[in-house]
Structure 1
Amino acid sequence: MIDIWHNPRCSKSRQAVALLSQSGAAFRERRYLEDVPTLQELRHAHAALGRPPVIEMMRTGEKLFRELGLSKTDDDDALLQAMAEHPILIERPLAVSGRQAVIGRPPERVLELL
């Protein structure tokens, strides 16, 4: 089962959901702005992504990123906490299947979990 953290207002996110649907994959949509991931879930996603720099999981161009005084050099714990408190900062779509995850940029990356 693939869990996809989805924002229906995002075209890339909608494309990723459509690709999963067309593939016949079993997946669950999680509207992460409404059903906010916990810090523990964010840590799991980070591990499943292969532990890249946490900044790669973030929308650094988001106005809130600057308003909060965040920077690309902040430590991982601070960045994970910021995403837990402000889910708009989470890069989307993010798809998790067990111990593997991908950020759907481009959307076709979600097919790597099949």
Structure 2
Amino acid sequence: MSTSPEISIYHNPACGTSRNTLAMIRQSGAEPQVIEYLNTPPSRAELVDLIGRMGITARDLLRRKGTPYDELGLDDSALSDDALIDAMMAHPILINRPIVVTPLGVKLCRPSEAVLDILPNPSIGDFTKEDGELVPGRNGE
């Protein structure tokens, strides 16, 4: 497996989608830089850059399940992107995952097979997720 410093994954090892995405990257023959973002959160500038490169809003990156989303009142549509980013900086668990960065783009990989759209080598063959779901291979793309 080749080391691919140009591929990074903002990863939560407790998340099945994140583990599946990491496994797909590795099955492609790449060894990404793994950033356990709960231990090493991105800086505000990095987070703003990732959001911009994904072409989404800060709200699109918010995770609700298993987070203080409701307690913080983050469903208030009047909250600005800056306010939502402030919340993610204070509580990194609010950042949805996994975020993958490759030379082909940056993407929130939910579902995990979305990573295939930005992998330099998406020909990983068949892949079975942890829950048993089969992701048919993308050979020869």
TM-score, normalized by length of structure 2? 0.74
Shift of 1:84: 1.2
The answer (yes or no) to whether the contact 2:100–2:106 under 8 Å persists in 1 is yes
Q: How does 1:49-64 map to 2 (within 5 A)?
A: 49-50=54-55, 52-64=56-68
The equivalent of 2:73 in structure 1 is 69
Shift of 1:66: 1.1
- Please list the CA deviations of residues 7-54 of structure 1 after superposition, one character each: whole Å capped at 9, or x if unmatched: 00100000000000000124111000000111111001011101x221
Using a 3 Å threshold, how does the CA distance of structure 1 residues 3 and 9 change in structure 2: closer, same or farther? same
Q: Which of 6, 12, 20 pairs up with 1:7?
A: 12
Using a 3 Å threshold, how does the CA distance of structure 1 residues 48 and 26 change in structure 2: closer, same or farther? farther
Question: Going by fraction, where is strand more abundant, 1 or 2?
Answer: 2
Amino acid across the alignment from 1:69: G
Question: Going by fraction, where is helix more abundant, 1 or 2?
Answer: 1
Q: How does 1:22-101 map to 2 (within 5 A)?
A: 22-50=27-55, 52-71=56-75, 73=77, 74-97=79-102, 100-101=105-106
Where in structure 2 are there 5+ consecutive unaligned residues? 1-5, 120-141
**Which secondary structure does the structure 2 equivalent of 1:64 belong to?**
coil
How many angstroms apart in 2 are the aligned matches of 1:62 and 1:72?
A: 18
The answer (yes or no) to whether the contact 1:48–1:99 under 8 Å persists in 2 is no
Task: Report the aligned-residue RMSD.
Answer: 1.6
Using a 3 Å threshold, how does the CA distance of structure 1 residues 2 and 55 change in structure 2: closer, same or farther? same
How many angstroms apart in 2 are the aligned matches of 1:85 and 1:99?
A: 30
Amino acid across the alignment from 1:54: A
Give the number of aligned pairs: 113
Moved over 3 A (4+): none
Shift of 1:63: 3.9
